[in-house]
Chains A and B, each alone.
Chain A
Amino acid sequence: MLLRNVFLKTLRDERRSLLWWAVGIAVLAGYTLVFYPFMRDNSDLTKLMQSLPPALRSIYGQADFSTGSGYLGSALFNLMVPLLFLVYGITQGASAIAGEEDRRTLDLLLANPVSRSHVVLAKFAALCAALVGLGVVLWLTLWLGGTLVQLNVPVGNLAAATLSGVLLGGAAAALALAVGAATGNRGISLGIAATVALAGYLVRTLAASIPALADWQKLSPFYYYNNHQPLINGLSLGNAAVFLVAAALCVAAAVALFTRRDLAV
């Protein structure tokens, strides 16, 4: 029964949207895999990619299309996967409290015997469950599809790379949630979280060719997303911990700020 509590009801509200996201992610992953055999067998393309200047190569990731991990890294995990998880996480995080306040339904919800902190936690938990669900769809598609095209990337590494995307999206969602819960303004929340994500991406990408940014990139979420190269090396517990701690701090701030302020009419 999906109307039992705030957590399940939040997932229920998202069920159609989630279905389309899952279909979209599976199609994108499948579509990317279909081209892998052509890329692998075309060594000229790999040479071309490797002749690009470092700044351009960093945009395409390792740009080694002769291995499954190199290809997936460039074609999927360098930009598309983080983009999808960030977009889903940030839009849902911003809507969690601020969206309900914008639509003026928050009064009615909180008139029930549920505390504000419960609403924040239940909505964030639902968001995390949705992100993990989308991650599982991506992982399963890559695993099953990968065996068909002889991708030769260990299933554990596929899981590690997908989980990195989920963690990146989850941390950004927590930031959007915190800003939305503190201000009640969905626009500000979207703006701040998207700016942080974009700035982080630029710093991480440009650091490859601008040595002055080498230290600054450690402030970028993207550094912790891919510095360990999870498709090749598996999961970095340290990186995962950075995302988990950042998310926990944001959620704690969301609860603290939301329980102390006036609700908009």
Chain B
Amino acid sequence: MAAVIEAHGLTKNYGRRRGVSDLTLLVPAGEVFGFLGPNGAGKTTTIRTLLGFLRPTSGRAALFGSDVSGHSAALHRRIGYLPGELALYEKMTGRDLLTYFAHLRGSHDLTYATTIAERLGADLSRPIRTLSKGNKQKIGLIQAFMQRPDLLILDEPTSGLDPLVQQEFYRLVADAKAAGQTVFLSSHILSEVDHVADRVGIIRAGRLIVVEAIHTLKSKTVRRLDIQLAAAVPESAFAGMPGVRDLHVTDANVRCTVEGPLDGLIKALAAHTVITLTSHEPDLEEVFLAYYTGEPDHAAA
């Protein structure tokens, strides 16, 4: 498949602020790519360089095979973009803003925009300044999706959305994928992209550390579990199980860290009466650590 996004040794330095170093990445057509990293890792810098808003210090990037530092206006016809720090025209209503952007894209048709607005529960009739952050985010999403662009570049798309709207957003991404669109979305939380992404790239301190299929990454994922049993158990009941670490058993309470599949632990737990089981989502640092301990070769690189 042809690469929709292509970056070779892409580097962007500015002043004291951290940029992006030597980023090489290929995103094929039709893929949903999750771009993960803590805040300030260089996600937004990468995205804004891809869109031609920043000039690369070195290296090159291309979208649909055309270099981004050339005439990006023509490329933008095929791209829907949601900025990470979304700012809209506050005095306009949502409908006016969408009408304006549709015209700039050479279309008068707001049918799909209206459909998405209904799905997300966005109010298009009020001036944007009167909307909450989440409702502004919905307008931002609609303008990105409304022309069914070949490529969607979404910087922190779920920020400010309440959980139900987030679910609808994931369905929008799934629809886009089904329609053959390519989606590049960034987040600082793994669980926000792992439903929808085919592959994930993790960037830290301006460097792309790993690009993995989502199921591979998840198999290396570390979870912290907190289990309350009905009766006290000896620590030996769970000791030495594969993937189980940092085991602490106090009376009927079991706390541990599990890397990879939970299956073994769950089957061992089934022999007891489980009152509660709480799984703490790993943060990205833990994912990195798990990745490195799992594959020492990469850690050295």
* Chain A positions near chain B (C-beta within 8 angstroms): 1, 3-6, 9, 13, 103-105, 107-108, 110-116, 118, 260-263, 265
CB distance from B298 to the nearest CB of A (A): 32
Can you name 19 extra interface pairs (CB under 8 A) apart from A107-B48, A114-B73?
A6-B104, A9-B100, A104-B85, A104-B87, A105-B89, A107-B51, A107-B87, A108-B83, A108-B86, A110-B51, A111-B76, A111-B81, A113-B74, A113-B106, A114-B76, A116-B73, A262-B55, A265-B44, A265-B48
Q: CA separation between A104 and B48, bound complex, in Å?
A: 13
Q: Assess whether A108 is in contact with B73, with CB atoms less than 8 Å apart.
A: no
B76 in complex: contacting residue of A3, A4, A104, A112, CB < 8 Å = A112
Instruction: With a 10 A CB-CB cut-off, give which of A105, A113, A118, A261 has the most chain B CB atoms.
Output: A113
| A263 touching B48, Cβ below 8 Å | yes
For window 90-139 of B, CB contacts with A under 8 Å fall at 90-91, 96, 99-101, 103-106
CA distance A253 to B89 in the complex (A): 27
* Residue in A5, A105, A265 whose beta carbon sits within 8 Å of that of B104 in the complex: A5
CA distance A147 to B183 in the complex (A): 67
A263 and B101 form a contact (CB under 8 A): no
Could you write out 26 A-B pairs with CB less than 8 Å apart? A3-B103, A4-B103, A5-B103, A13-B89, A105-B88, A108-B83, A108-B86, A110-B51, A111-B51, A111-B76, A111-B80, A111-B83, A112-B76, A112-B101, A113-B73, A113-B74, A113-B75, A113-B76, A113-B104, A113-B106, A114-B76, A114-B104, A115-B71, A115-B72, A262-B55, A263-B54
What residues on B are CB-neighbors of A261 within 8 Å? 55
Q: What is the bound-complex CA distance between A114 and B74, given in angstroms? A: 8
Of the candidates A105, A112, A114, A262, the one having the most CB atoms from chain B within 10 angstroms of its own CB is A112
Q: Which 5 A-B pairs have the closest CB atoms?
A: A104-B87, A111-B81, A115-B73, A112-B104, A113-B77
Contacts of A265 in B (CB 8 A): 44, 48, 85
Q: Across the interface, which residues of A come within 8 angstroms of B48, CB to CB?
A: 107, 263, 265
Contacts of B81 in A (CB 8 A): 107-108, 111
B143 touches A (CB below 8 Å) = yes
Distance of A79 Cα from B72 Cα, bound (Å): 45
Q: How far is the CB of A14 from chain B (nearest CB, A)?
A: 11
Q: Report Cα–Cα, A233/B21, bound state, in Å.
A: 65
How long is the Cα–Cα vector from A45 to B53 in the complex, in angstroms? 61
Cβ-defined contact, A262 with B14, below 8 A: yes
- Write the B230-250 contact mask toward A (1 if CB under 8 angstroms, else 0): 000000000000000000000
Tell yes or no: B79 within 8 A of A by CB.
yes
B89 touches A262 (CB 8 A): no
Across-interface contacts of A116 in B (CB, < 8 A): 73
The distance in angstroms between the C-alpha atoms of A3 and B100, with both chains bound, is 5
Query: Roughly how many angstroms separate A118 CA and B72 CA in the complex, as a whole number?
Result: 12
In the complex, which residues of chain B have a beta carbon less than 8 angstroms from the beta carbon of A1?
103
Q: What are the residues of chain A within 8 A of B91 when measuring CB–CB?
A: 13
Is B53 touching A263 in the complex (CB atoms < 8 A)?
yes
Complex partner residue of A110 from B53, B55, B96, CB under 8 angstroms:
B53
Q: Are B87 and A262 in contact (CB under 8 A)?
A: no
Residues of B within 8 A of A110 (CB): 51, 53, 76
What is the CA–CA distance of A113 and B83 in the complex, to the nearest angstrom? Answer: 16
Give the most central of A4, A104, A108, A114: most B CB within 10 Å: A108
B73 surroundings in chain A (CB, below 8 A): 113-116, 118
A259 to chain B, nearest CB (A): 10
A-side contacts of B55, CB under 8 Å: 260-262
Distance between Cα atoms of A114 and B116 in the complex (Å): 24
Shortest beta-carbon distance, A168 to chain B, in Å?
Answer: 30
> What residues of chain B lie closer than 8 Å to A107, measured between beta carbons?
48, 51, 53, 81, 83, 87
Across-interface contacts of A103 in B (CB, < 8 A): 87, 90
Q: How far is the CA of A108 from the CA of B55 in the complex (A)?
A: 17
How far is B99's CA from A133's CA once the two chains are assembled, in angstroms? Answer: 26
Task: Find B54's partner among A6, A13, A114, A262 (CB 8 Å cutoff).
Answer: A262
Mark out the residues of chain B between 200 and 243 whose CB falls within 8 Å of any chain A CB in the assembled complex: none
How many Å from the CB of B139 to the closest CB on chain A? 10
Q: How far is the CB of A227 from chain B (nearest CB, A)?
A: 42
Nearest Cβ on chain B to A62's Cβ, whole angstroms: 44
- Check A105–B101 contact: CB distance below 8 A: no
Q: Which of B60-85 contact A (CB under 8 A)?
A: 71-77, 79-81, 83, 85
**Complex Cα gap A9–B96 (Å):** 10
B53 near A262 with CB under 8 A, answer yes
The chain B residue sitting closest to A260, CB to CB, is B55
Task: Give the distance in Å from the alpha carbon of A69 to the alpha carbon of B143 in the complex.
Answer: 55
CB-CB under 8 A from B75, the residues of chain A are 113
State in angstroms the CA–CA spacing of A261 and B53 once bound together: 8
* Chain A residue contacts of B103, Cβ below 8 A: 1, 3-5
Q: Which residues of A contact B89 (CB under 8 A)?
A: 13, 105
